[in-house]
Amino acid sequence: MKRRTLLILLAALVVIPALFFPYHVHIENVLTGQPAEQFGVRISPWRVVLEPLVGPMLFAQRGDQPMVEMAVALLWLLAGILTLGVLNMWRQKNGLASALGRGVLQWLGRAPIVVILWLALLTIIIFTPLPNNRIANNDADALLLNTHSHTEWSHDGLVYQQELMRWHKRNGFDAFFITDHNNHGKTLAFVERQKNGEIADHPLVLCGEEFSGSNHITLLGLQRDFNTRGLPDSAVIDSAQANGGVAIVAHWFADEHKSIQHYIDIGADGFEIINQGEGLQYDRRIFDDIVRHCRDNGLLMTAACDYHGYGSTALAWNALSIPGHKRMTTEEKRRAIMTVLRHHQQDKIKVLMYRDRPLLPRRLAAWSSLYNTINYFRSLGMWQVVSWLLWLVVFYVIVRLDMMRKWLVCLQKAPVRFLGVAGAAASLLVLGKGLHLLSKAPHVQGYNDIYVEYGDLFLRIGVIFFLYSLLFAAWPVLKNRWGERRAEKRARRTDS
What is the enclosing helix (H) or strand (E) of 29? strand 26-29
**What is the C-alpha separation between 338 and 335, in angstroms, rounded?**
5
Q: Specify the pLDDT at position 106.
A: 87
CATH architecture of the domain covering 134-355: Alpha-Beta Barrel (3.20)
When comparing pLDDT for 481 and 252, which is higher?
252
Dump pLDDT digits (tens) for 335-372. 999 999 999 999 999 999 999 999 888 889 999 999 99
Q: What is the mean pLDDT of residues 102-122?
A: 93
Residue pair 377/18 in contact by the 8 Å Cβ criterion:
yes
pLDDT band of residue 139 (cuts 50, 70, 90) is very high
Q: Is the pLDDT of residue 316 over 70?
A: yes
Query: Of 202, 269, 184, 198, nearest to 233 (Cα)?
Result: 269
Count of beta carbons in the 10 Å neighbourhood of residue 308: 18
Residue pair 385/16 in contact by the 8 Å Cβ criterion:
no
Residue pair 18/380 in contact by the 8 Å Cβ criterion:
yes
Q: Specify the pLDDT at position 360.
A: 87
Size of the chain in residues = 496
DSSP conformational letter for 64: S
**What is the C-alpha separation between 233 and 371, in angstroms, rounded?**
41
Poorest-pLDDT segment among 189-198, 277-286, 391-400, 405-414: 405-414
CA 309-313-315 angle, to 5 degrees, is: 110
Q: Is the pLDDT of residue 476 over 80?
A: no
DSSP conformational letter for 195: H
When comparing pLDDT for 223 and 490, which is higher?
223
Which pTM was predicted? 0.91
CA 203-341-219 angle, to 5 degrees, is: 80
Residue pair 217/304 in contact by the 8 Å Cβ criterion:
no
Tell me the Ramachandran region of residue 417: left when phi exceeds 0, alpha when psi lies from -120 to 50, beta otherwise.
Answer: alpha
Q: Is the pLDDT of residue 97 over 90?
A: no
DSSP string, 393-445: HHHHHHHHSHHHHHHHHHHHH-HHHHHHHHHHHHHHHHHHHHHHHHHHGGGGT
Dump pLDDT digits (tens) for 276-296. 988 777 888 999 999 999 999
Tell me the pLDDT of the chain averaged across its residues: 92
Dump pLDDT digits (tens) for 404-459. 666 666 656 667 788 899 999 999 999 999 999 999 999 998 899 899 999 999 99
Q: Is the pLDDT of residue 195 over 90?
A: yes
Residue pair 299/271 in contact by the 8 Å Cβ criterion:
yes
Dihedral angle sign, alpha carbons of residues 251, 254, 255, 259:
positive
Residue pair 133/47 in contact by the 8 Å Cβ criterion:
yes
Q: Is the pLDDT of residue 233 over 80?
A: yes
Q: Specify the pLDDT at position 411.
A: 58
Q: What is the mean pLDDT of residues 384-403?
A: 87
Q: What is the mean pLDDT of residues 220-243?
A: 93
